[in-house]
Amino acid sequence: MRPLTLAMLLPLAGALPAQQSPDPPARAIVLRPVLNMYAEPTSDSPVVSQALYATTVRAPEWRGAWTRI
C-alpha cells in the first residue's frame, strides 16, 4: 500500500469563492482510481475506508505527504 501523497490529491482551497465564508474548508479531489484511507498517517496502519476517483474530500490538515480527510 502506498502512502497518500500530494500527487494523489488536487488541493482546491484557492478555487473556492472568498464570499462564501471567512475561512472556507480546505478541499481536494482524489486523482487515483481508488485511494486507501488509513487510520494513521502511515501505510502500516489499517485501511479504514477508500475514496474513488474524482471524489471531492475535505482536507483540513496536511502533514508532509499525508492529509486528514
| pLDDT tens column, 10-43 | 555 455 455 555 566 788 999 999 999 999 999 9
Task: For residue 28, give the H/E element and its range.
Answer: strand 27-30
In a domain, 34, yes or no: yes
Mean pLDDT, the chain, integer: 78
Q: Is residue 1 part of a domain?
A: no
Report if residue 31 sits inside a domain.
yes
- 29, 9 Cβ separation under 8 angstroms: yes
**How many domains does the chain fold into?**
1
Among residues 53, 52, 54, 48, the alpha carbon closest in space to that of 68 is found at 48
Total-model pTM: 0.62
Domain that holds residue 59: 6-17+25-68
In a domain, 48, yes or no: yes
